[in-house]
Structure 1
Amino acid sequence: MADKEVTQIGMMKIIGLFRKEGFKGEYDSFQHVSGTDREFFVVMSNEQEIKTLFRVSLTLNAAECQYVLDDKHTFVTEDADAS
């Protein structure tokens, strides 16, 4: 599941959940949590360009902050896996 792209509908549901919870910012990336199609990792950045990793569950309608990303943390993309 982790290699499956997040659909446009999935992204809209996630964005709707973030808005409902009052989160504001830019959505940098969306990725499925391995083994499920209803949970996602989302990287979001705020006005100060601070990036935060969230775990989002559409089943529970919940977005939970995992940690703030810094220079030592990166979000794995499919391009990075290919090399």
Structure 2
Amino acid sequence: MADKEVAQLEKMKIIGLFRKEGFTGEYDSFQRVSGTDREFFVVMSNEQGIKALFRASLMLNAVEFQYVQDDKHTFVTEDADAS
């Protein structure tokens, strides 16, 4: 896997998957799933500001809901992992 940063072209493909599935909202963040270069975690928020984590696969052309983010479920960034 070359680069951990999600490229703009990959983001456009991921957004296309979400739109194809009928999802609407704001895309808050994109993160590559560890060990793969074709699967991503995406945090989206709706009009009410509720955030949810999804797993998007460019290999399977699929979007899978993971969970709604709250105090117990947060999106871990690489900065938090560096100790």
TM-score clears 0.5 = yes
1:82 positional shift: 3.3
Structure 1 counterpart SS, 2:81: helix
1:59 positional shift: 0.7
Residue in 2 that maps onto 1:27: 27
Residue in 1 that maps onto 2:17: 17
1:79 positional shift: 2.4
Query: Which stretch has the larger CA shift, 19-28 or 73-82?
Result: 73-82
Matched residues, number = 82
Alpha-carbon distance in structure 1 between the residues aligned to 2:59 and 2:78: 25
Aligned-pair identity (%)? 84
Alpha-carbon distance in structure 2 between the residues aligned to 1:59 and 1:48: 31
| RMSD of aligned Cα (Å) | 1.4
State the one-letter code of the partner of 1:7: A
5 Å matches for 1:1-83? 4-82=4-82
Structure 2 counterpart SS, 1:19: helix
Give the TM-score of the pair, scaled to structure 1.
0.90
Structure 1 residues 43-62: Cα deviation after superposition (integer angstroms, max 9, x where no partner): 10001111110011001100
Alpha-carbon distance in structure 2 between the residues aligned to 1:20 and 1:7: 20
Unaligned runs of 5+ in 1: none
Structure 2 counterpart SS, 1:16: helix
Unaligned runs of 5+ in 2: none
Structure 1 counterpart SS, 2:44: strand
1:78 positional shift: 2.2
Give the TM-score of the pair, scaled to structure 2.
0.90
